[in-house]
Structure 1
């Protein structure tokens, strides 16, 4: 079987549901099988996966850091829906400035993107899997 290209859509928050963690585990499994993960698009409450202010308890898995490591090691784009992010208070420096906020909290390695980026992934990847 030849390698496939994938994009993931994560709708679940970083904590409070299993959705984001399942997506992360799936991402690692498909990479281990030799497939290419091109991007992860965080949508709805999934944008909370991109907050640099998330501080898990000492005995909890640090999912934000895990996404960052995955992206760095495997060249995966981590994109948050900009509209969903703004509604939930996850802002990059450009958005914070544009909306006159005194701080940003988008974690390193994540970028904010529009739904056009998700549409492009749906048209160009072999598989798009939603969590």
Structure 2
């Protein structure tokens, strides 16, 4: 089975993202395929590299990045939802003239078309 995961919960404050991460790790241990992870609504906050958890807390942003590095899983972030929540790329061309953004490494901004394409080619989509 080929899966797309939709994460709509923030990295901290809800269980959505941590549960999604644990599900993805478990899925990768099976014969199933994890095609992509799409971060939407408050889920885009998982891509904010400025998020700094306490030293004794699990760093979910780094965990998503490690998942990408180890398994080459695509980490898509909804561009519109990210802009609304202040998650932006470096040198974004807005009227606010920001040169250094806060989009974490290995996350890529995309639109809902990417989510639609992922849903089209996958057998299952699971939302957290």
TM over 0.5: yes
Which of 41, 44, 59 matches 2:56?
Answer: 59
Matched, 1:97 2:63: no
1:103, CA displacement in angstroms?
2.5
List gaps (5 residues or longer) in structure 2: none
1:97, CA displacement in angstroms?
2.5
Distance 2:41 2:14 in 1: 13
- Cα deviation, 1:7-49, whole Å, max 9, x if unaligned, reads 1000000000000000000001111112111110000000000
Aligned-residue CA RMSD in angstroms? 0.9
Which of 9, 33, 38 matches 2:35?
Answer: 38
**TM-score, with normalisation over the residues of structure 2?**
0.95
Matched, 1:50 2:47: yes
Give the match's secondary structure for 2:92.
helix
8 Å CA contact 1:38–1:75 kept in 2: the answer is no
8 Å CA contact 1:10–1:46 kept in 2: the answer is yes
Distance 1:103 1:68 in 2: 19
Matched, 1:122 2:91: no
1:101, CA displacement in angstroms?
2.1
Counting helix residues as a fraction of each chain, which structure ranks higher?
A: 1
Distance 1:108 1:117 in 2: 19
Q: How many residues align?
A: 126
1:127, CA displacement in angstroms?
0.9
Distance 1:51 1:117 in 2: 20
